[in-house]
Amino acid sequence: HRHLTGIAGLQPHEITFLLDEAEKWAESNRARRPSDHRLDGITQINAFFENSTRTLLSFEIAGKRLGADVVNMAVAQSSVKKGETLIDTAVTLNAMRADVIVIRHSSSGAVQLIASKVDCPVLNAGDGWHEHPTQALLDALTIRRRRGTVHGQRVVICGDLMHSRVARSNILALTALSAEVRVVAPSTLMPGAIEAMGVTAFHNFDEALEGADVVMMLRLQNERMSGAFIPSTREYHLRYGLTHERLERAKPDALVMHPGPMNRGVEIASGVADDPERSAINEQVEMGVAVRMACLDVLTRKSRGVEGWA
Ligand code: CP
């Protein structure tokens, strides 16, 4: 089976194919048209070993909208809490004959490990600092819809790049689609070799914002930091917070994005997050359902005997 463990395994034409598939669902979801229930009889297990609001709910809604039987594994009440290993949990899920498994885990590589132990497609819903591929796809879809194209767009990604799987997947997807990507962070939150990914690194947010088409803000991931990394939130906001005043350096119609959850007043001012003209944050969430419908459909095509890329 083909899995979706990261953007790293995808060719640019495959990314575009998934975006085109998602675009169709975005239109039918917006028109509130019922889907054709192409996943009738499919069992989808969502196993989230780490907290989530958007990703878990949108994978559940996406599966149900396509007719799948969706089961959410309640990790807090599961035998994981009794010391069961990740491999034993994976083998157990496999024995229940899941047709597709969606995993979120705090360890980078956990999803790949599970994928190697089961005989159905596995989708990565975020693993540690590694990747969050469906987030990058929904972000690329949002940019494409709002800006017309991803190609040539100057996208500024600002915040905790060190611990961000969202940034990593976005950099891979956006550079594959020929965007110009700028990354901004204090030196303690900037990975050393990041320019090898084809981006330009800045420490000064105002400089990076010049002429931006898209400004993507990231949360300080305090849960992944030891004390040395954590800046004071007041100082962080002064240097790296997105305010309306700072946004004036970007293009007049620049789009503001944030994967959520937001820390208002830290990386983004409330007025910017809620700006109806500039903020695409709610559209990102909306595109999340469409992208996850596309990924669930495409990845299960082979086992459903339907022609597809997988
Ligand atoms: N963007 C994102 O992954 O949000 P959740 O953690 O709420 O799923």
CB within 8 A of 93, min separation 6: which ones?
A: 45, 47, 73, 101, 114, 118
pLDDT greater than 90 at residue 81: no
Best probe residue, ligand 1, of 54, 104, 131 (max atoms within 8 Å of C-beta)? 54
Q: Supply the pLDDT for residue 270.
A: 97
Average pLDDT, the chain: 94
Asked if pLDDT for residue 162 goes beyond 60, the answer is yes
pTM: 0.96
Which segment of 75-84, 93-102, 118-127, 186-195 scores lowest on mean pLDDT? Answer: 75-84
The residue among 182, 176, 193 whose CA lies nearest residue 133 is 176
Distance of CA 91 from the midpoint of ligand 1 (Å): 26
Residue 164 backbone dihedrals phi, psi, to 5 degrees: -100, 110
- Alpha carbons 67 and 158: distance in angstroms, whole number: 38
Residue with CA nearest ligand 1 atom 4:
54
> What is the reported pLDDT for 74?
82
Question: What is the best residue among 53, 130, 139 to mutate for testing ligand 1's pocket, by most ligand atoms within 8 Å of CB?
Answer: 53
pLDDT at 310 over 60: no
For ligand 1, atom 5: residue with the closest CA: 52
Predicted confidence (pLDDT) at residue 157 exceeds the cutoff of 90: yes
DSSP assigned state of 8: G
DSSP category for residue 268 = B
Dist CA 50 CA 273 (whole Å): 25
Work out the average pLDDT over 74-85. Answer: 83
135 assigned ligand-binding residue: yes
Whether residue 136 is predicted with pLDDT greater than 70 in this model: the reply is yes
- Is the confidence at residue 205, as pLDDT, over 70? yes
State which of 67-81, 225-239, 249-263 shows the largest mean pLDDT.
249-263
Ligand 1 nearest atom to the CA of residue 56, by list position: 8
Mutate to test the pocket of ligand 1, among 55, 57, 216 (most ligand atoms within 8 A of CB): 55
Kindly state the average pLDDT of the residues 44-72: 96
Q: Which residues line ligand 1 (CB under 6 A)?
A: 52-55, 126, 135, 259-261
How far, CA to CA in Å, does 165 sit from each of 12, 124, 126, 130?
A: 19, 11, 7, 5
pLDDT tens, position by position, 175-203: 999 999 999 999 989 999 999 999 999 99
CB pairs under 8 A, 24+ apart, for 142-149?
Answer: 142/255, 142/257, 142/280, 142/283, 142/284, 142/287, 143/174, 143/179, 143/214, 143/255, 143/257, 144/19, 144/23, 145/23, 145/26, 145/283, 145/287, 146/255, 146/280, 146/283, 147/213, 147/214, 147/255
Has residue 234 got a pLDDT over 80? yes
Q: What is the ipTM score, two decimals? A: 0.97
Flag whether 165 is marked binding.
yes
